[in-house]
Amino acid sequence: MKRHIIVAGSTGEVGKHLVRLAAARPDLVVHALVRRKGAWHDNTAVDEIVFDYEDPAAYNALFRDVPCDVLLIALGTTTAKAGVEGLIRVDRDYPLFLIEALKQAHPQASVGLCSAVGADHPRGHYLKAKAAVEQRLQSSGLASVIARPSFLISDRKEFRPLERIALPLFKTAFGALKKLMPHSKSVWKYAPVRADEVADRLFAATLEVEQSRRVLLEGNDLFRAH
């Protein structure tokens, strides 16, 4: 029997890789939540579901109408794009609504969450939002996998000046540190990591997580090969 996967944040840097991984598996049915139709028009294996995250009734309706064995959450924005309130809404509130609705409708389902390094000791709006979601997920009783990547390396088209300047420096510095200290947990924890690698590890772990288990992926857990 095929398992059904719902991906929230399906067009984001990690989310789009999660969708592609699921769509490539003949034993899975992938449902991608989108704000408007067309994001996945070129992939017939993807079922696009237009979803209004601002509609409180949409969450229960989603899990009532769509089977869900695995929920993958890769929602996120920036204060530059959405402001502080918008960031809290996207990074904290939407995931919390999804987790609560899933728990009520499909308590046997598993959840994969893309969080962020530092969420265990949060400072600032962004990490506090991530921490709130992690805490709720861990207390929900749902089987879960939480990935905490550091700086994401991606092929995003959006121009971010700080990333253009900082990323080459980060990659060079951490590349050297990984060679000098290959077993250092701190180096791997904060090292830049490719978005597709994070998606790959989160996807695989969430499919395999046993009922009621909680798994944390960070540092070298998020890299395919060292």
* Residue 53 within a domain: yes
Helix (H, G, I), strand (E, B) or coil at 171: helix
* Residue 24 within a domain: yes
* Residue 181 within a domain: no
Q: Cα dihedral sign for 94, 27, 50, 106? A: negative
* Residue 63 within a domain: yes
Cβ atoms of 143 and 210 within 8 Å: the answer is: yes
Cα–Cα dist 58/55, whole Å? 5
Domain that holds residue 83: 3-150+195-220
What is residue 140's DSSP assignment?
S
- Res 193: pLDDT: 87
Q: How distant, in Å, are the alpha carbons of 42, 63, 82, 116, 205 from that of 216?
A: 33, 25, 28, 11, 10
- HEC string of 17-54 equals HHHHHHHCCCCEEEEEEECCCCCCCCCCCEEEEECCCC
* Residue 166 within a domain: no
- Res 159: pLDDT: 45
* Residue 188 within a domain: no
* Residue 186 within a domain: no
* Residue 161 within a domain: no
CATH number at residue 127: 3.40.50.720
How many folded domains does the chain comprise? 1
For residue 32, list its beta bridge partners: 7, 48
* 226 residues of the chain, pLDDT tens digit each: 899 999 999 999 999 999 999 999 999 999 999 999 999 999 999 999 999 999 999 999 999 999 999 999 999 999 989 999 999 999 999 999 999 999 999 999 999 999 999 999 999 999 999 999 999 999 999 999 999 998 888 765 554 455 554 556 555 655 555 566 555 566 778 888 889 999 999 999 999 998 879 999 998 899 865 4
Return the closest-CA partner of residue 62 out of 220, 73, 18, 218: 73
- Res 185: pLDDT: 66
What pTM value is reported for the model? Answer: 0.89
b/e map 54-93, b = 16+ CB within 10 Å: eeeebbeebbeebebbbbbbbbbbeeeeeeeeebbbbbbb
Q: Spell out where 155-200 has E strands.
A: 193-194
